[in-house]
A and B are shown apart, each in its own frame.
Chain A
Amino acid sequence: MDNPTDLKYLATHEWVRIDTDVATVGVTDHAQDQLGEIVFAELPDVGDSFSQGDDMCNIESSKAVGEVHAPVSGEVIEVNETLEDEPEKINSEPYTGGYLLKIKMSNPNEVDSLLDAAAYQATLG
């Protein structure tokens, strides 16, 4: 699967979709592929605040637990509740139905520090 060009990325395999001051966050196709079948997503609560780079939540597969970092600072305004029953969506639709959460950004300038699709692809070697 190609990394969508309308998204921004972290070298730690998170993606972000920016919609004015709201950032939708998920993990990349490469991340889900490396982790294998996801069995559980431990998401934060709505209202939790994070700074860019913080450990925000964990996603667990049968072989490992992966940490998800906050790509931008801000407050969680929505978590993807369908993952509670269908964590496999992270595997099957990493860029759409398998998103993790939405953050209201407190510092939109941070977006400039994120990678574009080509730069992220380059980190995968």
Chain B
Amino acid sequence: MTRITPELIFEKGYDGMKNNFVPKMDVEEVDLNAILPPEFQREDIDLPNIPEFTIVRHFVNLSEKNHSLDRSIYPLGSCTMKYNPRINEVTARLPGFAQIHPLQEENDGAMELIYNLGEQLREICGMDAFTMNPAAGAHGELTGILIFKKYFESKGLKKDKIIVPDSAHGTNPASSVMAGYSIIELKSNEFGEIPLDQLEFAMQGGDVAGLMLTNPNTVGIFDRNITKITEIVHKYGGLCYYDGANLNPIMGVSRPGEMGFDIIHLNLHKTFATPHGGGGPGAGPVGVKEELIPYLPCPQIVKGTQGLACIEQSDTSLGRVRSFWGNFGVLVKAYTYIKALGAEGIKRAANMSVVNANYLRSQLQDIYDIPYNANGRFNMHEFVMDCHLPNGVNAEDVAKSLLDRDLYAPTIYFPLVLHEPMMVEPTETESQRDLDKLITALREIYELAKINPEQLKFAPHKTPVGRLDNTYAARKPVLKK
């Protein structure tokens, strides 16, 4: 790997060099003074004098410092870093999708794609309607919780609390608080599941709007009591929110709508293979059951007798959550993924994600402490290891040591139901051969902890920068050069 270069692209230009990246003006010239007050005008736009090939080198060098799924395994728990099939990129670049604008006169094709994608997601999730507007997962959560709010307001009920289990995604409590709710945290039991008696006790308070749940949860456990859980919440008039972050292992297999959930958000950029993590943007469609349809954000694309129509606003809707129709390119990629796999393929992908996670677990559990597997219980798409290695080597040391082996590190220090958690999600993307590379590395690191822990504690050694001081970076951040 190349070492970090200190130069920014703005520092690479110099006098005498010419840039040729400003295209020729191809629209009618307008007098700036007629459209822009003088205080917003400037003479110099400060672009570096730099030729095209220098720009290419600059960005290729930067990209080599980045780890991506196109380079090797990316088993980042709860993030579902699956391979983005190249056909997704092909369809998203079709001029009919890429060169359109939401304000042009006709957008029938785009509307049809949005509508059809909604139909597919309804089928996969067992919900009655979807909005494609939210721009990412947490944005979908916020939209969903605002639908909670609208629903209770319209019924004249005051509910100001939401139950979130400790095995939930960190964004769940954050989204609820942003929408004005306070949180009741439920501790999961020794099986990684929701204790029903405590759930019932919390619901009895009468001021609880509902429950946010990821199923399977962040320790990769499918809650066997799921229908009982949603029954309890409904019994006290609450709503059930399904965080779709972990939909991957159950897509095409079981449906959140049938588990009793009223609202769901999906992460198209996780489950449906559109790129994310710097390769975004994402999309966080929200699905609802029939009685919540009136509160969905606008615009909504609906099918009437005259074909597809776009509802720009309605009295009951919570309003707009995003400009235009959301991140359309992402929708094209997700639709392509679903259509390319088909119903059987979707189910097979889900099953393979479970097989891969359990293969990894089975090859590591003799040396790593992997809880929640009593009585030979299987995990779903991911599992969490508690990384207490010999000589005090911890989860962070293991993670950094994986980087030295050109493997991406799984998520660490989440969920904090364990002390040294490492959350591993291989997804269905990886072959057995690639999984074996990760297994070999993790076993090697374990052995190394016994004889040379110092090497692990100061890892990584081969990356562009070495071990960063997390504490110092947080205490004294240098935000500007």
A14: shortest Cβ distance to chain B, in Å? Answer: 18
Q: How far does the alpha carbon of A10 sit from the alpha carbon of B427 in the complex, in Å?
A: 42
Whether A37 lies near B419 (C-beta < 8 A) is no
B4: shortest Cβ distance to chain A, in Å? Answer: 22
Whether B474 lies near A64 (C-beta < 8 A) is no
Q: Pick the contact of A40 from B413, B470, B474 — CB < 8 Å?
A: B474
Please report A residues at the B interface, Cβ cutoff 8 Å.
34, 37, 39-40, 60-64, 87-88
Residue of B nearest to A64 (CB): B416
Whether A34 lies near B419 (C-beta < 8 A) is yes
A-B contact pairs, 7 of them (CB 8 A): A34-B419, A37-B471, A39-B471, A40-B475, A60-B474, A64-B413, A87-B475
A39-B471, A62-B470, A63-B413 given; 5 more Cβ-contact pairs under 8 Å: A37-B470, A39-B474, A40-B475, A61-B471, A63-B396
Q: How far does the alpha carbon of A37 sit from the alpha carbon of B473 in the complex, in Å?
A: 12
Instruction: Kindly name the residue among B396, B412, B474 whose own CB sees the greatest number of chain A CB atoms within 10 A.
Output: B474
Q: How far does the alpha carbon of A40 sit from the alpha carbon of B477 in the complex, in Å?
A: 12
User: Nearest 5 pairs between A and B by C-beta?
Assistant: A39-B474, A62-B470, A37-B471, A63-B413, A39-B475
Chain B contacts of A60 at CB under 8 A? 474
Residue of A nearest to B473 (CB): A62
B187: shortest Cβ distance to chain A, in Å? Answer: 13
Chain A contacts of B470 at CB under 8 A? 37, 62
Residue of A nearest to B477 (CB): A39
Q: How far does the alpha carbon of A14 sit from the alpha carbon of B306 in the complex, in Å?
A: 66
B77: shortest Cβ distance to chain A, in Å? Answer: 15
Residue of A nearest to B396 (CB): A63
Chain B contacts of A63 at CB under 8 A? 396, 412-413, 416
Chain A contacts of B412 at CB under 8 A? 63
Chain B contacts of A88 at CB under 8 A? 471, 475
A53: shortest Cβ distance to chain B, in Å? Answer: 14
Chain A contacts of B471 at CB under 8 A? 37, 39, 61-62, 88
Q: How far does the alpha carbon of A37 sit from the alpha carbon of B419 in the complex, in Å?
A: 15
Residue of A nearest to B416 (CB): A64
A42: shortest Cβ distance to chain B, in Å? Answer: 13
A64: shortest Cβ distance to chain B, in Å? Answer: 5
Residue of A nearest to B474 (CB): A39
Which residues of chain B from 350 to 398 have a CB within 8 Å of any chain A CB?
Answer: 396
Q: How far does the alpha carbon of A37 sit from the alpha carbon of B470 in the complex, in Å?
A: 9
Residue of A nearest to B475 (CB): A39
Whether B416 lies near A62 (C-beta < 8 A) is no
- Against A, the Cβ 8 Å flags (1 = close, 0 = not) of B449-481 are 000000000000000000000110011000000
Q: How far does the alpha carbon of A40 sit from the alpha carbon of B416 in the complex, in Å?
A: 19
Q: How far does the alpha carbon of A61 sit from the alpha carbon of B470 in the complex, in Å?
A: 9
A45: shortest Cβ distance to chain B, in Å? Answer: 19
Q: How far does the alpha carbon of A87 sit from the alpha carbon of B471 in the complex, in Å?
A: 11
Instruction: Kindly name the residue among A40, A61, A62, A88 whose own CB sees the greatest number of chain B CB atoms within 10 A.
Output: A62
Q: How far does the alpha carbon of A2 sit from the alpha carbon of B474 in the complex, in Å?
A: 29
Residue of A nearest to B412 (CB): A63
Q: How far does the alpha carbon of A37 sit from the alpha carbon of B474 in the complex, in Å?
A: 10
A41: shortest Cβ distance to chain B, in Å? Answer: 11
Whether B419 lies near A62 (C-beta < 8 A) is no
Chain A contacts of B396 at CB under 8 A? 63
Q: How far does the alpha carbon of A47 sit from the alpha carbon of B35 in the complex, in Å?
A: 53
Chain B contacts of A62 at CB under 8 A? 470-471, 474
Chain A contacts of B413 at CB under 8 A? 63-64
Q: How far does the alpha carbon of A55 sit from the alpha carbon of B416 in the complex, in Å?
A: 19
Q: How far does the alpha carbon of A63 sit from the alpha carbon of B396 in the complex, in Å?
A: 10
Q: How far does the alpha carbon of A62 sit from the alpha carbon of B395 in the complex, in Å?
A: 13
Q: How far does the alpha carbon of A40 sit from the alpha carbon of B474 in the complex, in Å?
A: 8
Instruction: Kindly name the residue among B412, B416, B470, B471 whose own CB sees the greatest number of chain A CB atoms within 10 A.
Output: B471
Chain B contacts of A34 at CB under 8 A? 419
Residue of B nearest to A67 (CB): B185
Q: How far does the alpha carbon of A62 sit from the alpha carbon of B413 in the complex, in Å?
A: 10
Chain A contacts of B475 at CB under 8 A? 39-40, 87-88
Chain A contacts of B416 at CB under 8 A? 63-64
Q: How far does the alpha carbon of A61 sit from the alpha carbon of B396 in the complex, in Å?
A: 14
Q: How far does the alpha carbon of A87 sit from the alpha carbon of B475 in the complex, in Å?
A: 8
B10: shortest Cβ distance to chain A, in Å? Answer: 31
B218: shortest Cβ distance to chain A, in Å? Answer: 15
Residue of B nearest to A37 (CB): B471
Residue of B nearest to A39 (CB): B474
B386: shortest Cβ distance to chain A, in Å? Answer: 14
Q: How far does the alpha carbon of A99 sit from the alpha carbon of B470 in the complex, in Å?
A: 23
Residue of B nearest to A86 (CB): B475
Q: How far does the alpha carbon of A23 sit from the alpha carbon of B419 in the complex, in Å?
A: 31
Q: How far does the alpha carbon of A81 sit from the alpha carbon of B418 in the complex, in Å?
A: 32
A125: shortest Cβ distance to chain B, in Å? Answer: 13
Instruction: Kindly name the residue among A39, A64, A88 whose own CB sees the greatest number of chain B CB atoms within 10 A.
Output: A39
B421: shortest Cβ distance to chain A, in Å? Answer: 10
B399: shortest Cβ distance to chain A, in Å? Answer: 12
Chain A contacts of B419 at CB under 8 A? 34
Q: How far does the alpha carbon of A40 sit from the alpha carbon of B475 in the complex, in Å?
A: 7
Q: How far does the alpha carbon of A95 sit from the alpha carbon of B474 in the complex, in Å?
A: 24
- Against A, the Cβ 8 Å flags (1 = close, 0 = not) of B402-421 are 00000000001100100100
Residue of A nearest to B395 (CB): A63
B400: shortest Cβ distance to chain A, in Å? Answer: 14
Q: How far does the alpha carbon of A62 sit from the alpha carbon of B414 in the complex, in Å?
A: 12
